[in-house]
Amino acid sequence: MTRMKLQIINGPNLNLLGVREPSIYGKCSFDSYYQSIQSAYPSIDFDYFQSNSEGALIDKLHEVGFQVDGIVLNAGAYTHTSVALYDAIKAISSPVIEVHLSNVHQREAFRHVSLLSAACRGVIAGFGMDSYRLAVEAFVSNKE
């Protein structure tokens, strides 16, 4: 049986998880969370990519988006601004789940709109780091 391949992609400012606004985003670094999620799903091949640049995120989607079984994408603030990321998600064949640590709908009005959701398989927001695990779980149970 072939192993499931999942790509996790984090966008701008998410390299500062654990340091950045901990009252909103928590005190855990993504690196330590990434280790725990890999241990929790030993049968899945994970890859992790983070960039603060919109173009680098698009390049990564193009690179992996015809190979992996699923992409867990937290595009950070580009969620609310990027037609180019929307087009990139539409252009690839791997399904994408949009995730957010915070419940964006409880926050500033500019965070209530996602330009990406319509291109994504689904959206998970508001569960802190657990949002990523819930997205992985959705891929596992939907076997996409």
Residues of this chain that bind ligand DQA (CB under 6 A) = 13, 74, 76-77, 79, 100-102, 104, 111
Nearest distance from C-beta of residue 111 to ligand DQA, angstroms:
4
Q: How many CB atoms sit inside 10 A of residue 24's CB?
A: 11
Nearest distance from C-beta of residue 95 to ligand DQA, angstroms:
19
Q: Would you say 90 or 107 has its CB closer to ligand DQA?
A: 107
Q: Would you say 4 or 50 has its CB closer to ligand DQA?
A: 50
**Structural tokens at position 40:** 């929790």
Nearest distance from C-beta of residue 104 to ligand DQA, angstroms:
5
Q: Would you say 5 or 80 has its CB closer to ligand DQA?
A: 80
With 0-12 / 13-18 / 19 or more C-beta atoms within 10 angstroms meaning exposed / middle / buried, residue 71 is buried
Residues with catalytic annotation? 25, 100
Q: Which residue has the tokens 């603030």?
A: 77
CA atoms within 13 A on the CB side of 117: 11
Residues forming a β-bridge with 46: 6
Residues with Cβ within 8 Å of 80's Cβ and at least 6 positions away in sequence, in order, are 110, 111, 113, 114, 115
62 vs 98: CA distance, rounded Å: 16
Nearest distance from C-beta of residue 142 to ligand DQA, angstroms:
22
